Amino acid sequence: MKIAFFDTKPYDRIWFEPGAKQLDFSIKFHEVKLNEDTAVLAKGCDAVCIFVNDVADKNTIEKLCQLGVRAILLRCAGFNNVDLKAAKGKIHVLRVPSYSPEGVAEYTIALLLTANRKIHRAYTRTRDFNFSIHGLMGVDLHDKTVGVIGTGKIGQMVIDILRGLKMQIIAYDLYPNPNLDVEYVSLPELFKRSDVITLHCPLTKETEYMINRDSIAMMKKGVILINTSRGRLIDTKALIEALDRGKFLGVGLDVYEEEDDFFFEDKSNEIVTNEDLVRLTSYPNVIITSHQGFFTKEAMEAIATVTLENALDLELSRNLQNEVTI
């Protein structure tokens, strides 16, 4: 099997090369992202392997099909970047449904603790021998109410850790889990009652911009918002307006709605002109990281193993257990 990898970084080689060699798969690593223009790089390949910010829209899928590519292997869980309607019946779409939800959950808590206690600012201050703590005050999380939106694999792990912090937990999910010992409430109630809100639902038509002017208006002043899910869950313009009004005690973002052009790349020698991103990074109470919640050794191992197993399922015409369909 020949696979063209898109949007690759040095660490992708480290994790994928040994497994591919064992299976006698041939991999072509491309640094560019998959899109309509770069699809041609998959010529002669059976499958493409893509990540969160590659684009597999209708035109790209058509091009891949013309080249004889049989599958899109997502080396991630989310598939909002693939036009499943266009793929239906033409090209298989396989994903890695779960890779260390513990890692993403732990990272969520790291962002929460950082955004609350301003550890990112303290770090830069003390490196500059500025030992003032003025402006670094947070709140005790103990006994505060946290609203968890999405109680799937990651949301549940987050809840487990939050219990250790002795927080009061409320949750919203389109499909509440009857086996989960948590108080499910409506979304408006969650927005109104929560001191901390953390997002763990997928990006869908229904969840796009679920954090918007109206929902922010319902939130308490001094709320902390954490997003390790997908950037477009938040209307960034509405977030910025609210930040300007001092609505949030802290905001922790591992994802950003226009992250495709920036995240995972070193842009430190360039002038970044994305106004919203520049504005967001300028707030002292906002911490942005570059979609690294998944990035643990265990997750990388799982991603490589399951992605290559998905390719093997295809090659051996086995049941495609991780196929995504509509």
Give, in order, the Cα–Cα distances in Å from 324 to each of 60, 83, 94, 306: 17, 11, 6, 14
Nearer of residues 19 and 101 to ligand NAD, judged by Cβ: 101
Residue 316 DSSP label: T
Residue 78 contacts ligand NAD per CB under 6 A: yes
Least distance in Å: CB of 144 to ligand NAD?
22
Tokens, residue 23: 């299976």
Q: Which of 1, 154, 162, 302 binds ligand NAD (CB under 6 A)?
A: 154
- Please, what sign has the CA dihedral across residues 63, 65, 67, 69? positive
d(CA 25, CA 252): 40
Tokens, residue 41: 């790089």
Of 19-27, 124-132, 168-176, 316-324, the window that binds ligand NAD (rule: CB under 6 A) is 168-176
Nearer of residues 229 and 285 to ligand NAD, judged by Cβ: 229
d(CA 79, CA 207): 14
The strand pairing partners of 199, in sequence order, are: 149, 227
Q: Which of residues 84-103 bind ligand NAD (CB under 6 A)?
A: 98, 101
Residue closest to 226 by CA, chosen among 195, 184, 268: 195
Residue 291 contacts ligand NAD per CB under 6 A: yes
Nearer of residues 3 and 201 to ligand NAD, judged by Cβ: 201
Nearer of residues 193 and 230 to ligand NAD, judged by Cβ: 230
d(CA 12, CA 33): 14
Give, in order, the Cα–Cα distances in Å from 295 to each of 10, 290, 302: 13, 10, 11
Active site residue 230: yes
d(CA 163, CA 142): 10
Residue 293 contacts ligand NAD per CB under 6 A: yes
Residue reference for tokens 């009061």: 168
Q: Which of 259, 270, 275, 318 is catalytic?
A: 259
Residue 152 contacts ligand NAD per CB under 6 A: yes
Q: Which of 291, 301, 309, 318 is catalytic?
A: 291
d(CA 55, CA 33): 7
d(CA 141, CA 222): 12
Of 55-63, 87-95, 117-125, 289-297, the window that binds ligand NAD (rule: CB under 6 A) is 289-297
d(CA 155, CA 173): 10
Of 9-17, 29-37, 65-73, 286-294, the window that binds ligand NAD (rule: CB under 6 A) is 286-294
Closest residue to ligand NAD, based on beta-carbon distance: 152
Residue 227 contacts ligand NAD per CB under 6 A: no
Residue 138 contacts ligand NAD per CB under 6 A: no
Nearer of residues 69 and 157 to ligand NAD, judged by Cβ: 157
Q: Which of 75, 230, 232, 257 is catalytic?
A: 230
Q: Which of residues 186-205 bind ligand NAD (CB under 6 A)?
A: 200-202, 204
Residue 173 contacts ligand NAD per CB under 6 A: yes
- Do the Cβ atoms of 144 and 196 come closer than 8 Å? yes
Nearer of residues 45 and 111 to ligand NAD, judged by Cβ: 111
Residue reference for tokens 């063209």: 4
- Residues forming contacts to ligand NAD in the complex (CB under 6 A) are 77-78, 98, 101, 104, 149-155, 172-175, 200-202, 204, 206-207, 228-230, 254-255, 291, 293-294
Q: Which sequence positions are flagged as catalytic?
A: 230, 259, 291
